């Protein structure tokens, strides 16, 4: 682990002088962050803004299997990034701890959801922004409930989701908490008004009529992909950020990377054609970074076994880190321009 408050980790070869392989740090953690258990006082005392929490849960999934490997692959992909971001001149080292994966029971989704709720609630109460990596889309249901309860009845919450599917099934084969029901359950939270909900990127026909009908009856504004293409991501993001961040006390930012075109994100549970290009998601990430910190970020449905060259997970990590870097810059956490690698010059 690089010493916090020192700057060696900004420079080649990423701290120290040994040129150890930065891709194999010994212990696997998100961005080489220290491990801090989610329950207990240590997280509260840790001087960090973010708590990475893995949720290897695949039992709310109606698509192809494999997203329980998402949290681990997300960590692996994060090793291909450094804490320094030249585009923002910021240092993310020390800004995050890794809380490990929530222990998931087998064949007991009720207990699993309870554990997800407890872990996320605890991290929020400890004052951290949880970065939750699923797991299937259904994990957003207990996680959003945790934010809702954390804020309390007197506070207002915003919710933004980027994905190809509306997930507005009131129930699915009799189940009401699976991935396709995520938006239906979340929009029932008491302190989340429809005017503070946004959904971006819906397209193609895994969006049955009852999903559209329920979304409309609850007056949820969703921006289908055709609208994004027509208006451009900049304009849509301006409108949607205003809705989710405007007048709210806490915001839930949720990514299902099937919002991306299948050429950009082959490694997700339900690939969809006609989605975003990678420069568009980076534009969105930069725009979100300029907006300021959400209360929770979640990434669901990464499906590494279907990925190509590890690129989808890398993109997901890149999006999250870009948001974090943008927020750091917004908060004035930029580095001194004169800081240089100690002991040598370039010429």
Give the binding range for another protein (CB under 8 A) out of 80-88, 107-115, 194-202, 213-221: 80-88
| Structural tokens at position 201 | 């990127």
| Structural tokens at position 337 | 């321009």
**Strand residue runs (E) in the chain:** 50-55, 84-85, 90-91, 96-101, 129-134, 157-162, 192-202, 221-224, 250-256, 296-300
3-state secondary structure of 300: strand
Q: Identify any residues that bridge with 222 across adjacent strands, giving them in sequence order.
A: 199
CA distance 46 to 68: 28
Q: Which is nearer to another protein, 57 or 84 (CB)?
A: 84
Contact 166, 259 (CB under 8 A): no
Question: In the bound complex, what is the minimum distance in angstroms from residue 199's beta carbon to another protein?
Answer: 22
Give the binding range for another protein (CB under 8 A) out of 164-172, 241-249, 259-267, 297-305: 259-267
Q: Which is nearer to another protein, 194 or 282 (CB)?
A: 282
Question: In the bound complex, what is the minimum distance in angstroms from residue 336's beta carbon to another protein?
Answer: 11
Question: In the bound complex, what is the minimum distance in angstroms from residue 20's beta carbon to another protein?
Answer: 8
Contact 192, 153 (CB under 8 A): no
Question: In the bound complex, what is the minimum distance in angstroms from residue 223's beta carbon to another protein?
Answer: 21
Q: Which of 282, 290, 330, 333 binds another protein (CB under 8 A)?
A: 282
237 binds another protein (CB under 8 A): no
Site string for another protein, 13-32 (x = CB under 8 A): xx--xxxxxxx---------
Give the binding range for another protein (CB under 8 A) out of 86-94, 95-103, 116-124, 171-179: 86-94
Question: In the bound complex, what is the minimum distance in angstroms from residue 314's beta carbon to another protein?
Answer: 6
Contact 140, 301 (CB under 8 A): no
Scanning residues 304 to 333, which ones bind another protein (CB under 8 A)? 308-311, 314-315, 318-319, 321-322, 325
Angle, to 10 degrees, between the axis of helix 311-330 and the axis of helix 70-78?
60
Question: In the bound complex, what is the minimum distance in angstroms from residue 277's beta carbon to another protein?
Answer: 8
Give the binding range for another protein (CB under 8 A) out of 61-69, 111-119, 276-284, 296-304: 276-284
Give the binding range for another protein (CB under 8 A) out of 62-70, 84-92, 93-101, 154-162: 84-92
11 binds another protein (CB under 8 A): yes
264 binds another protein (CB under 8 A): yes
Question: In the bound complex, what is the minimum distance in angstroms from residue 264's beta carbon to another protein?
Answer: 4
Angle, to 10 degrees, between the axis of helix 278-291 and the axis of helix 233-245?
30
Q: Which is nearer to another protein, 10 or 181 (CB)?
A: 10
CA angle 336, 342, 347 (to 5 degrees): 95
| Structural tokens at position 166 | 């509306």
Q: Maximum Cα–Cα distance for the chain, whole Å?
A: 69
CB within 8 A of 180, min separation 6: which ones? 62, 137, 165, 167, 169, 172, 211
Nearest C-alpha neighbor of 75 from the set 327, 302, 282: 302
118 binds another protein (CB under 8 A): no
| Tokens 């669901």 sit on residue | 300
Q: Which is nearer to another protein, 192 or 288 (CB)?
A: 288
Footprint on this chain of another protein (rule: CB under 8 A) = 10-14, 17-23, 80-87, 92, 261, 263-264, 266, 277-279, 281-282, 308-311, 314-315, 318-319, 321-322, 325, 335, 339-341, 344-347
């Amino acid at each position: 682990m690089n010493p916090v408050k020192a700057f060696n980790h900004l420079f080649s070869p990423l701290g120290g002088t040994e040129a150890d392989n930065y891709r194999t740090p010994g212990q696997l953690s998100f961005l080489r962050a220290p491990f801090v258990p989610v329950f207990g006082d240590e997280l509260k005392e840790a001087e960090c803004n973010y708590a990475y929490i893995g949720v290897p849960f695949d039992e709310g999934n109606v698509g192809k299997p494999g997203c329980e490997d998402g949290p681990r692959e997300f960590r692996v992909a994060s090793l291909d990034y450094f804490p320094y971001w030249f585009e923002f001149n910021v240092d993310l080292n020390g800004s995050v701890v890794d809380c490990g994966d929530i222990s998931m029971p087998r064949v007991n989704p009720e207990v699993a959801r309870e554990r997800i709720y407890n872990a996320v609630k605890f991290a929020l109460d400890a004052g951290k922004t949880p970065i939750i990596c699923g797991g299937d889309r259904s994990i957003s249901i207990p996680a959003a409930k945790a934010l809702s309860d954390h804020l309390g009845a007197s506070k207002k919450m915003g919710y933004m989701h980027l994905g190809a599917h509306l997930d507005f099934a009131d129930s699915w084969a009799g189940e009401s908490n699976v991935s396709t029901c995520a938006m239906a359950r979340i929009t029932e939270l008491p302190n989340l008004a429809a005017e503070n909900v946004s959904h971006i990127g819906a397209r193609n026909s895994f969006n049955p009529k009852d999903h559209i009908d329920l979304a409309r009856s609850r007056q949820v504004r969703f921006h289908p992909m055709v609208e994004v293409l027509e208006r451009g991501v900049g304009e849509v993001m301006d409108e949607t950020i205003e809705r989710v961040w405007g007048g709210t006390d806490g915001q839930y930012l949720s990514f299902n990377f099937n919002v991306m075109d299948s050429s950009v994100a082959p490694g997700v549970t339900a690939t969809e054609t006609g989605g975003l290009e990678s420069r568009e998601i980076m534009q969105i990430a930069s725009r979100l970074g300029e907006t300021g910190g959400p209360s929770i970020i979640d990434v669901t449905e990464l499906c590494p076994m279907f990925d190509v060259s590890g690129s989808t997970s890398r993109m997901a990590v890149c999006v999250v880190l870009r948001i974090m870097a943008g927020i750091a810059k917004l908060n004035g956490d930029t580095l001194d321009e004169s800081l240089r690698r100690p002991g040598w010059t370039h010429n």
